[in-house]
């Protein structure tokens, strides 16, 4: 049996990591065992968001939430150990400086190792009981690297021979199975991000034959979906009743852009849209995540159990 992987993908800086964690937290709070695979090395993850304080305030969620970074080096190390058999010889290979430099340098190798570990995690054959999760979330790297990771993994078997190409065949199969992946592109309502997201959705549909489950518009401002007449009325009233004239233009220019981009996404219409409003201020990251988790509850229940 295979567990589908929910992927949060999109442009850099749109909030993939935060939303991955919020989504996972929501399910963990309800007692599901959730694994978040992040492309950030763990020290760098804390740069984006911190889970400090979760254990004290939400012990069930904390007990069910697992965040890991797959280090391709560890994966390759296991492959080498299995391939060589003799522990002494394997140690010698792994500790040689030539091996450590080689795996850093070979293009594509790390991406392949990463995807093959993801595939392993998704297989629920009961052998790795400690690693069995009800939900697996992949906080993917920014669009360019995400697409290249998919490309490398899918085309790996076409240019290699020998045992490595068998691994490649498995990966190609894994990534062309629509039941294996749940795609959740994330965007913010800015020209570049929206353009990139629309291209990403088209490419995923064309190449992987997988239609994203939801497109999430993150960090939106108020009045996004207000009707044209409501919007104009608020704008008039706001101008008449609020002081700070120079900066009011800033607000309305931005709101107009967001509304236009949201309208464009709605027109494109191939993927259901979900809106996650910007939170003005939160006292802590955990509080922010819990708030977002509530907002995300309408997005998807995740893959069915």
Partner 1 sequence: MKIRIFVGTGGVGKTSVTAASALRTALDGEKCLVMTVDPALRLKTALGMTGAALEQRVPLEPASTKGELWAALLDVPTTMDRLVRAHSGAAKAQTIIDHPVYKLLLTSLAGMNELVAVERINQAIADGFENLFIDTAPSRHTFEFLDRPEFFVQLVSFPLVKLVGRTYAWWKKSPLSGPDSSDLYGRLQQMLGATLVSQVLDFFAIFQPVAEAYALHSRQTLKILRDSRTTSFTIVTTPAAAKHDSDYLFNELTKRNYFVEALIMNRLWPDLRLKATSGASPAVRDLAGWYEGVYTAQLAIHDNVHAAWAGKGRRVIDLAELSMDIDGIAGLARIAEQLKAA
Binding site for partner 1 (CB under 8 A): 11-14, 39-40, 43-44, 46-50, 83, 97-98, 100-102, 104-105, 107-108, 110-111, 141-145, 148-149, 151-152, 155, 159-165, 188, 191-193, 219, 221-223, 234, 237-238, 241-244, 246-251, 253-254, 257, 278, 280-281
Rounded distance between C-alpha atoms, residue 247 and residue 69, angstroms: 43
What residues contact residue 63 under an 8 Å CB cut-off, 6+ apart?
none
In the complex, minimum distance from the CB of residue 47 to partner 1, in angstroms, rounded to a whole number: 4
In the complex, minimum distance from the CB of residue 210 to partner 1, in angstroms, rounded to a whole number: 21
Rounded distance between C-alpha atoms, residue 45 and residue 139, angstroms: 11
In the complex, minimum distance from the CB of residue 217 to partner 1, in angstroms, rounded to a whole number: 14
Closer residue to partner 1, CB minimum distance, 146 or 174: 146
Q: Is 232 left (phi over 0), alpha (psi -120 to 50) or beta?
A: alpha
Rounded distance between C-alpha atoms, residue 274 and residue 295, angstroms: 9
- Give the CA distances from residue 245 to residues 221, 240, 242, in Å, rounded to whole numbers and listed in that order: 19, 10, 8
In the complex, minimum distance from the CB of residue 3 to partner 1, in angstroms, rounded to a whole number: 25
| Other beta carbons within 10 Å of 10 | 27
Contact at 8 Å (CB) between 44 and 36?
no
Closer residue to partner 1, CB minimum distance, 60 or 192: 192
Closer residue to partner 1, CB minimum distance, 145 or 209: 145
Closer residue to partner 1, CB minimum distance, 55 or 148: 148
Identify which of 54, 69, 66 has the alpha carbon closest to the alpha carbon of residue 134. 66
In the complex, minimum distance from the CB of residue 160 to partner 1, in angstroms, rounded to a whole number: 5
Closer residue to partner 1, CB minimum distance, 47 or 60: 47
Closer residue to partner 1, CB minimum distance, 31 or 144: 144
In the complex, minimum distance from the CB of residue 81 to partner 1, in angstroms, rounded to a whole number: 14
Burial class (CB in 10 A: 0-12, 13-18, 19+), 192: exposed
| Other beta carbons within 10 Å of 142 | 16
Closer residue to partner 1, CB minimum distance, 133 or 231: 231
Rounded distance between C-alpha atoms, residue 248 and residue 260, angstroms: 18
In the complex, minimum distance from the CB of residue 50 to partner 1, in angstroms, rounded to a whole number: 7
Locus of tokens 């293009």: 107
């Amino acid at each position: 049996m295979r567990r589908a992987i929910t992927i949060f993908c999109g442009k850099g800086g749109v909030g993939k990591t935060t939303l991955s964690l919020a989504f996972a937290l929501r399910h963990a709070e309800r007692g599901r065992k959730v694994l978040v695979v992040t492309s950030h090395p763990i020290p760098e993850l804390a740069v984006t968001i911190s889970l400090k304080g979760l254990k004290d305030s939400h012990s069930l969620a904390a007990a069910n939430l697992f965040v890991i970074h797959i280090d391709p080096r560890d994966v390759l190390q296991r492959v080498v150990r299995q391939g060589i058999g003799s522990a002494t010889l394997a140690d010698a290979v792994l500790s040689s400086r030539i091996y450590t430099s080689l795996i850093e340098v070979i293009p594509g190798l790390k991406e392949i190792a990463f995807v093959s570990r993801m595939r392993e995690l998704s297989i629920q054959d009961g052998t790795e009981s400690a690693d069995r999760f009800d939900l697996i979330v992949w906080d993917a790297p920014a669009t360019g690297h995400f697409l290249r990771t998919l490309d490398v993994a899918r085309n790996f078997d076409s240019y290699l021979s020998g045992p490595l190409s068998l691994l490649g065949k498995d990966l190609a199969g894994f990534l062309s199975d629509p039941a294996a992946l749940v795609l959740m592109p994330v965007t913010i309502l800015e020209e570049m991000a929206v353009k990139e997201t629309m291209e990403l959705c088209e490419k995923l549909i064309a190449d992987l034959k997988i239609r994203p489950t939801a497109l999430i518009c993150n960090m939106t401002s108020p009045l996004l979906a207000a009707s044209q007449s409501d919007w104009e009325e608020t704008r008039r009233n706001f101008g008449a009743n609020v002081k700070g004239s120079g900066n009011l233009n800033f607000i309305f220019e931005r709101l107009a852009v967001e509304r236009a981009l949201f309208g464009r996404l709605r027109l494109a219409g191939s993927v259901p849209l979900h809106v996650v409003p910007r939170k003005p201020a939160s006292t802590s990251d955990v509080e922010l995540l819990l708030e977002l988790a509530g907002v995300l509850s309408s997005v998807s229940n995740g893959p069915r159990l």
